[in-house]
Every structure is written in structure tokens, then in C-alpha cells.
Amino acid sequence: MLQVVNMRNERQDIILQALLLIHMSCQSDSSSSVVVAGYNMSAPAGSKMVLQCMSGRMVWTRDRVRDRQRVVHWDMYRDYPDYAMERVVDMFSAGEQRIYNSYNLGRVRLSPAPFKDGNFSLVIKDVTMNDRGLYSCNLHHLYCHLYETVRVQLNVTKSRRKEQRYWDGQKAVYVVLLGSTVVLPCINRRAVWTDWSEEEEDQQVVHWDRQSPGVPHDRADRLVDLYASGEQRSYGPLFLQRKMNISHQAFAEGDFSLTISDLQPTDQGSYSCHLHHHYCGLHERREFQVTVEAPLIHSTVPAKALPSEDKDTTKAESPKIITVILPDQRHYFLLPLGYVLTTFLLLAFIILIVILITRHRRAKEFDPQTSMRSSRSHSSSDEFEMDVTEVNVCSPEERRFDYKNNLLKEKANMNAQPKVIDLDKEMQKFSK
């Protein structure tokens, strides 16, 4: 009976390992040999066009120390009681295993040389109830920018009849007996995880192909090959090699863009940039559909001389140039605004002066002292005019009468004194 159970467990292990290998191979090959981008580009004839093809994964940084480039680590997620993720063990390609929990010392380990045989499985001895949880095997290749993960669910039971191993569609599920030893599988024997090439620069290559309209893909013309070692090969006629080129710092910067100078209608077609990193398993392609448009026509009108009356047709005239100064576009709107504000301020100033003059005149009209002075001046002038008119109205007879009265008064005064006055003589004098 025990042999039947062991045989059944072995068959289940083989099936689960096969499923895990298929799952990891699908992850690793999901990005290989695919078209990652496509572009439609157009430019006028005679211009320069740049077909951009960049990838950070193709930057060549040779790892001469071979340390900390490949890493494997096992993590466990506990759904009870604290729902936390904890690191179980990890290992670098040029280092040793590192156990994070002292409780696991001596009972949890990896295989002795995982980066040589590709076996990264986790071995757990004396399984306890605390070992239940979701385990994940994480493989990281820092140089190739590769990240792969395998998940295994571990459950513990006290009944031997409940032991089983199955695939739930996303991960492997292991139900093991309490106190037994279990091996959680994680196997990846790809060369990128187990081998290191001494000629790494020969495994990185970039090449550009061109298909003329109507030419199938398998008959595309090769334009240029570029290797990480620095070797560059150009194909086709010499003039084509000169007008199409790639930067010499392509692998140092990860920029493999193709520059086409003096674009012509014959340059139309489909261009493709192929990136191959055989060590890292990178195979990408970017396609460009190039269309050449009609060239831009720049019309140049010769300057004409201004007409003149005394024009000498025998002498060659030098062209006259009219200089037009255009205002700065950023401050052009400030000029009309300044004119409007200046006109508004001037109008306000004029209105203010008119208001002040009007108020000053009204104040003079309603001042009492000023009105009295003006009335007095008018009355005195009237009296003066009346006196003058009265003086002017006196006749010569009245003057004579007044003169007689004056003489009588003088005679009366003379009577007081002894003096003889001849009245007839005096009248004759007056009449004269």
C-alpha cells in the first residue's frame, strides 16, 4: 500500500514539474521574436529623417566580476494570522545561501549549486503548521533585465490519506503530512541562468533591413550590422552607406536609430530594426513605413527698384531694400493698450479742469461782499453822472444871476469897511 502511494506521489511530482517548466518557458519566451512597435513616417524630399530604435536592455555593460547579476529568493505569504510577506532564503550567483529566520536554520535550504544545474527548488524538513502559506520562487537577472516567478501553495495535514499534489490553473498546490520533508519545485535550466559566455560581445547584434515597395520580407536588403564588440558592417552602394548610418556609441547609450540624409523618393519602403541579445534571449523588431513627399518650394521674389523721374537707363541700378521692423510678438498687444490709457487720462484731465473753472465762477456769483461792492460802485457812478449832468444843464443867465448875488454879498461885506465900489463898472466887466 505504501509503495502505491509513493508511486502516485512520484507521478504527481513529474506532472507538476512538467507543468511548471511549461509555465516558466511561456513566461521567458513571451517577449522573444516579436514586433514591439510599428511607425508610419513621412518627410519631404531632400530633408533628413531619423528612425528611432532604442532599448535599454541592449546596453552593453560587461560584468567582469560576475557577482550580483543573477539572484534567486524564496518568499512566503502568510494569510493567517498577520497576513504578511517574509523572506525565507536568497542566493546570488557568486555568493552563498542566506537564511533570514533563525528558526529555519538547518531545516530549510536550496540545492548546493542552483546556478549550475538550474535547480532552484526549496527543501523544507520537519514541516510544521507554521510552514503553511503561499511560496514564490523569484529569479532576477539584473544584467538582462529578466524577472521570472513561480508560485507554490503549501498546506499541511495530519492525515496521510489527504496528501496530494495538483495544479489549480495558476500554481501548484502541495498538501503534505505534518513532520515530513517537502521539496517545492522551481527549475529553470535556460543558459541565461546556468551559463556565462566569455564572448558576450559577440552575442549582441543589431541590424537594419529595408524592403522596397512590393518586395517580400524574406528578400529584404541588409543595410548595416553592428556588434557590441565595435564591429560595424555596411552593405549596398557607397553612396547608400554614406547617407544611412548608426551612431558609434549605440551600445553604450542603447540608441540604435538610423539616420537617413538627403531623403529621395527612391528611399521609400519598409525599414526594420532588429535587436538580438542571444545570451539574454532578447529578439525584438521595430518596423517603420517611410513615405517621401514632394519637396518644399521656397519662392524667392527679386527686389524691384522704385520708379524715379530722372532714371538713367545706361547705368545698372542697385536693388533698393525696404526694411520693415516687426514688433516683438510677445509685447505687441501692449502698444494699443498704452494708446487707449493715455487718451483716457488726457480726457479725464480736461474734464477736471472744466469742472474746476465752473465751480470758481459760481462761487464768485454767490459771494455777498462782492455783490455789495459791485452795487456800491454802480450807485457812486450814477451819482457822479447825475452831478455832471446837473452842472452841464446850468445856463448863462443863471450864471449871471449867481454872479450878481456874489457881488451883493461882497458889497455887504464891503459896507463894513470904508470902500467905494462902482457897480456899473463891475457889471460892464462881467458883461465883457
Domains recognised in the chain with CATH numbers: 32-62+198-293 (2.60.40.10), 64-191 (2.60.40.10)
Q: Which residues contact 370 (CB under 8 A, 6 or more apart)?
A: 364
What is the CB neighbour count within 10 angstroms for residue 331?
Answer: 8
pLDDT at position 32, please? 47
pLDDT at position 143, please? 77
pLDDT at position 109, please? 93
Low-confidence ranges of the chain (pLDDT < 70): 1-33, 61-68, 195-202, 298-333, 366-404, 411, 413-432
Q: Which residue has the cell 548595416?
A: 224
pLDDT at position 11, please? 58
First to last CA, the chain: 194
pLDDT at position 390, please? 46
Q: pTM, whole model, 2 decimals?
A: 0.52
Judge whether 87 and 99 are in contact, CB under 8 Å. Answer: no
pLDDT at position 31, please? 40
What is the CB neighbour count within 10 angstroms for residue 282?
Answer: 21
pLDDT at position 70, please? 87
Instruction: State phi, psi for 148 to the nearest 5 degrees.
Output: -130, 145
